[in-house]
Structure 1
Amino acid sequence: MSRLAAEFQRLYAAGPDGASRALVLDVGRPSDWELLANVWRGVQLDLALPAPGIAIAGENSYQLWFSLERGCSPEAAAAFFEGLKSRYLAGIAGQRIRCLTEPPVVPAEVREGQWSAFVAPDLAPVFVEATWLDIPPGAEGQADLLKSLRSIAPQAWEAALAALAPRGPQDDGARSDGRVDRASTGEATPEAPQVTSAPAVPSAIPANFTDPRAFLLHVMNDATLPMAMRIEAAKALLPESGKS
């Protein structure tokens, strides 16, 4: 079994009883990373969940991939998705949101010349105009991205479901703003996760680059360059993303 297949199975294979361990929130048509970036940050800050995986879907959408240590029932999955939509995606047309409990294959050629792939948070915004790759992503880079992800523990899963459910202000284990009360579980409050992008730099690219990766990063982060050029630089970097 390849490293990529092993990491995918570790995170997203169904449980022994066939219950789903993978919950995929797909938002797009048209693609809009800011919508899902808000969910990506919120589930970590508000619900104390580990960061979900991020994928470009191979067509006009982004995906968040949640992994459960134990499989969940269809009813629990539906409640989780409804809670996320109510809290973070209110007002977004229903046809733009897909909630999947049977994970699609990633990476895969979704359409001719359009490959889905897992991406690092800092690369996700670059693909907003074309949420796919023209060529298959590197398997080792994809495996490295998945290796950094953690599954949601049963206690955290139950706490998240409780926080997302309609409730009264006096319910135990939740604050009035719906965030998980970490004081009741002894957990430290994490700092807000960041989806960062480097500040714009002058469009004149220095001629003294000796490191190809540094050059590609410079191009990708230069907001004054054409988006098509920045996307090509991000695609070239993608197989390397997730490596230390």
Structure 2
Amino acid sequence: MNRLDTEHQRLFSSDDDTLAAGLVRRMVLGIAGPADWPMLGAVWRGVQADLDLPAPAIAVNGVDAFELWFSLADPLPADTAASFLESLCTRYLPELAASRRRLSPSPEPGLSAEPARVPQLHADTGGWSAFVAPDLAAVFGDDPSLDIPPGEDAQADLLSRIKPITRAEFQIAMARLTPEPSPFLHEPAFAAVPQVPAASGSRNGPSTHYDDPRQFLFDVMNDASVAMELRIQAAKALLP
């Protein structure tokens, strides 16, 4: 396995058990028809400045699109990942026609497709896909491809600087993307939250009684048995 394969494995690869369980370790958001880096560049900057996420990898797909590749430290359900990508489009690309979006996984059944590995040659166009540095993305204009194969070491170097999104970072980002009002402002929403055991090592021990509201919200946010919508709202309530 060369350096490029190692970086791909670190960032984007999922084992068979993960895939069979409907989980993903990477999310891809692209703009095509035509490719448009200025629009996608706004998303690249926004996820860092507004959502405090690590910078995603930038790619030209060799055919028709610029893409952002997000790496996940822990696998997520595909529908949760799809909801995140849809929320990014709602926030940063509200005027972009749905037909120009390339989302993987997609919130629309039947439209999600595994993105082609980068880099590689596309025989139908004769162009190469490649990961590119942020300051070079605009150079491609509306032709998101390379005429020659990119160097594997250079591609590995670009990927080596990409950090996977941690579970906590993802939950906070989803909370910031979720529109108000928060259901935690209403009594029925509290009633919908199940009793959750305290996290291991918590001062509450095995009891489900909580004296500290922040500890309760923290445990809800990190409890995989709680509905994702409620976990997101718990994370939002914990934001500074």
Identify which of 45, 50, 56 aligns with 1:52. Answer: 56
Distance 2:234 2:168 in 1: 15
What is the aligned partner in structure 1 of residue 30 from structure 2?
Answer: 26
Quote how far apart the aligned CAs of 1:112 are: 3.9
Whether the aligned pair in 2 keeps the contact of 1:40 and 1:52 (CA below 8 Å) is yes
User: 1:36-63 CA distances to partner (integer Å, 9 max, x unpaired)?
Assistant: 1100000001111000000001122100
Q: Quote the Cα distance in structure 2 between the aligned partners of 1:132 and 1:17.
A: 31
Query: 1:191-219 CA deviation, whole Å, 9 max, x = no partner?
Result: xxxxxxxxxxxxxxxxxxxxxxxxxxxxx
Q: What is the aligned counterpart of 1:109 among 99, 113, 121?
A: 121
Q: TM-score of the superposition, structure 2-length normalised?
A: 0.70
State the partner residue of 2:18.
Answer: 17
Aligned counterpart in structure 1 of residue 40 of structure 2, from 32, 36, 43: 36
What is the aligned partner in structure 2 of residue 98 from structure 1? 102
Quick one: structure 1 residues 75 and 129, their matched pair in 2 at CA, closer, same or farther if it must change by over 3 Å?
closer
| Aligned equivalents of 2:60, 2:94: Cα separation in 1 | 22
Do the aligned partners of 1:79 and 1:161 also contact (CA within 8 Å) in 2? no
Tell me the SS of whatever aligns to 1:145: helix
Distance across 1 between alignment mates of 2:95 and 2:58 = 22
* Mapping of residues 1-244 of structure 1, within 5 Å: 1-14=1-14, 17-18=18-19, 19-101=23-105, 102-110=114-122, 111-168=124-181, 174=236, 181=239, 184=240
- Give 3-state SS (helix, strand or coil) of 2:135's partner: coil
Find the aligned partners of 2:153 and 2:38 in 1 and give their Cα distance: 28
In the aligned structure 2, how far is the partner of 1:113 from the partner of 1:78? 31
- Offset of residue 103 of structure 1: 3.7
Checking the alignment, whether the CA contact within 8 Å between 2:130 and 2:146 is kept in structure 1 is yes
After TM superposition, give the deviation of residue 174 of structure 1 in Å. 4.5
| 3-state DSSP of counterpart to 1:90 | coil
Partner of 1:194: none
Count residues with an aligned counterpart: 178
Within 1, Cα distance between the matches of 2:177 and 2:60?
26
Alpha-carbon distance change, 60 to 112 in structure 1, aligned in 2, over 3 angstroms: closer
Q: Distance in 2 between matches of 1:112 and 1:60?
A: 10
Whole-Å separation in 1 of the counterparts to 2:136 and 2:46: 19
Gaps of 5+ in 1: 185-244
> Does the CA-based 8 Å contact 2:62-2:125 persist in structure 1?
no
Give the Cα separation in 2 of the matches to 1:112 and 1:27: 18
Unaligned stretches of 5+ in structure 2? 106-113, 186-232
Q: Deviations over 1:65-95 (max 9, x none)?
A: 0000011112201210111010000011111
**With CA pairs under 8 Å and 6+ residues apart, which has the higher RCO, 1 or 2?**
1
* Larger helix share, 1 or 2: 2
Quickly say closer, same or farther: Cα 1:112–1:103, change in 2 above 3 A: closer
Q: Which structure: larger Rg? A: 2
What letter corresponds to residue 116 of structure 2 in structure 1? P
CA distance in 1, matches of 2:92, 2:67: 14
Give the counterpart letter for 2:5 in structure 1.
A
Inter-partner Cα distance in structure 2 for 1:112 and 1:56:
13
TM-score of the two chains, using structure 1 as the length reference: 0.68
